[in-house]
């Protein structure tokens, strides 16, 4: 007996196909179809989505699921549950695990864990360098053959320009992008927040925009030189946005992402030394925040990504200098982006859906982000106007390090469907 799904009366928004109208969605055995017969409709699991938006399952190309080796913070099981609660059906996990994912054996371990416990689609990335130490290239060919969709030393930017050049050239040979966390390490020794008025006021070591801008410029040059895609992660600086805009105007194969926290917050949030606002790259000033929003508006920045980075309460509950960088992002991304981009910045709902579905999928060439017939039935149903209070302590992540804990948010995921199967509905994991 085929498994049949019928979602009725939804406001369907599918930027990939241009569909935007109230209507129905149908799936058979995990694949979207254009229509059901009368007999199939009788057999279908029916979901009435009246008053809800139905869009492709959200896609996040920058998450940290911490497995292997850091499972006290998160696991693939808990991370994908948080993803489902946030409406994400596809995630790309970073390789800064313990040990780092710099060889085929570790990638196979991650793939086994995904197969065993993930409730959404998860794709691994591999390291650029052995041990993320920036000294020798990892075996890029074997990483690609084991299923890595990109290589990155995320969290530890490759400082050696010649090594980075060779990484891009090898990645080109194997047809996978290079993703880079843009940070000049020499300029950020001991830095914990944005360099400026607030860092001076708080007596904390400042992190200049230039530390990002210099590496963005380096990567633009290398992408043009090698003729291969470099994806710039979590851009935070106004000047970096302008560098990317100019590079794209010249046809350089560069892509980039913004994050919900960098469009919503500035370094003024650190006034109380709350480590839940400590992240890498740091929160910048209002000028930078607006530049990122404009970069998302005009396509300079290709997509949104959460940089979901779980840490335990006892790790975050330290002096500001000693606490780790990073915050949760999966369960709050959609309402934050709706608030900042749609309500405050005049983006259309369709544009925000595009930035969170088809655009990130295109960056890494993932089979996701569309409601076209024949595609995997990955669907998110959400109410853009529902108000709710986010309690990070009751969330689905193993950690609770969120700057939005206890805040009232507007816009909530009701149902998440992966390959035609409901995995999250009305606040609960299903199955």
CB atoms closer than 10 angstroms to residue 1 = 5
Query: Tokens 């805009």 map to which residue?
Result: 245
Q: Is 299 left (phi over 0), alpha (psi -120 to 50) or beta?
A: left
Report yes or no: 82 and 330 within 8 Å, Cβ to Cβ.
yes
Strands 178-180 and 151-152: parallel
Question: What gap in Å lies between CA 8 and CA 29, rounded to an integer?
Answer: 18
User: Strand pairing partners for 297?
Assistant: none
Question: What gap in Å lies between CA 402 and CA 400, rounded to an integer?
Answer: 6
Report yes or no: 180 and 281 within 8 Å, Cβ to Cβ.
no
Query: Tokens 């975050």 map to which residue?
Result: 316
Q: Is 307 a catalytic residue?
A: yes
Question: What gap in Å lies between CA 235 and CA 220, rounded to an integer?
Answer: 14
Report yes or no: 339 and 411 within 8 Å, Cβ to Cβ.
yes
Q: Cα angle vertex 84, ends 378, 294, to 5°?
A: 80
Strands 254-258 and 230-232: parallel
Of the candidates 206, 374, 225, 382, the one whose C-alpha atom is nearest the C-alpha of residue 217 is 225
Question: What gap in Å lies between CA 38 and CA 41, rounded to an integer?
Answer: 5
Count the residues in the chain.
Answer: 431
Catalytic member of 307, 321, 378, 383: 307
Report yes or no: 327 and 401 within 8 Å, Cβ to Cβ.
yes
Report yes or no: 381 and 9 within 8 Å, Cβ to Cβ.
no
Report yes or no: 245 and 290 within 8 Å, Cβ to Cβ.
no
- Read off the tokens for 429: 């994991």
Give me the active site residues, please.
307
């Amino acid at each position: 007996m085929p498994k049949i799904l019928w979602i009725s009366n939804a406001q369907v928004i599918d930027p990939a196909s241009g569909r935007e109208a109230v209507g129905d969605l149908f799936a058979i055995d995990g694949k979207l179809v254009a229509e059901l017969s009368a007999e199939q409709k009788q057999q279908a699991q029916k979901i009435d989505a009246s008053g809800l938006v139905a869009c492709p399952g959200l896609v996040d190309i920058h998450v940290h699921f911490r497995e292997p080796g850091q499972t006290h913070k998160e696991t693939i099981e808990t991370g994908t549950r948080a993803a489902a609660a946030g409406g994400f059906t596809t995630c790309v996990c970073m390789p800064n695990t313990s040990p780092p994912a710099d060889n085929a054996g570790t990638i196979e371990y991650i793939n086994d864990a995904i197969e065993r416990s993930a409730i959404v689609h998860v794709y691994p990335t591999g390291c650029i360098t052995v041990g993320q130490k920036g000294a020798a290239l990892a075996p890029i060919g074997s990483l690609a053959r084991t299923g890595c969709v990109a290589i990155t030393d995320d969290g530890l930017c490759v400082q050696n320009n010649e090594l980075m050049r060779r990484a891009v050239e090898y990645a080109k040979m194997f047809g996978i992008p290079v993703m880079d966390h843009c940070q000049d390490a020499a300029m950020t020794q001991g830095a914990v927040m944005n360099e400026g008025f607030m860092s001076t006021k708080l007596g904390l070591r400042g992190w200049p925009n230039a530390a990002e801008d210099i590496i963005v410029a380096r990567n633009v040059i290398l992408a043009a030189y090698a003729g291969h895609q470099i994806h710039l992660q979590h851009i935070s600086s106004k000047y970096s946005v302008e560098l990317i805009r100019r590079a794209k105007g010249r046809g350089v194969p560069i892509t980039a992402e913004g994050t919900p926290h960098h469009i919503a917050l500035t370094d003024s949030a650190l006034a109380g030394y709350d480590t839940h606002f400590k992240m890498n790259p740091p929160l910048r000033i209002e000028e930078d925040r607006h530049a990122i929003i404009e970069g998302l508006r005009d396509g300079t920045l290709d997509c949104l990504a959460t940089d979901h980075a779980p840490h335990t309460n006892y790790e975050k509950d330290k002096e500001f200098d000693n606490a780790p960088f990073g915050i949760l992002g999966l369960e709050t991304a959609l309402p934050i982006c709706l608030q900042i981009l749609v309500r405050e910045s005049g983006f259309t709902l369709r544009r925000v859906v595009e930035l969170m579905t088809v655009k990130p999928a295109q960056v890494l060439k993932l089979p996701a982000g569309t409601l076209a017939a024949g595609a995997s039935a990955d669907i998110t149903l959400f109410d853009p106007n529902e108000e709710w209070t986010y309690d990070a302590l009751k969330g689905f992540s193993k950690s609770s390090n969120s700057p939005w804990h206890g805040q009232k948010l507007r816009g909530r995921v009701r149902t998440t469907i992966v390959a035609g199967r409901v995995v999250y509905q009305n606040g609960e994991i299903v199955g």
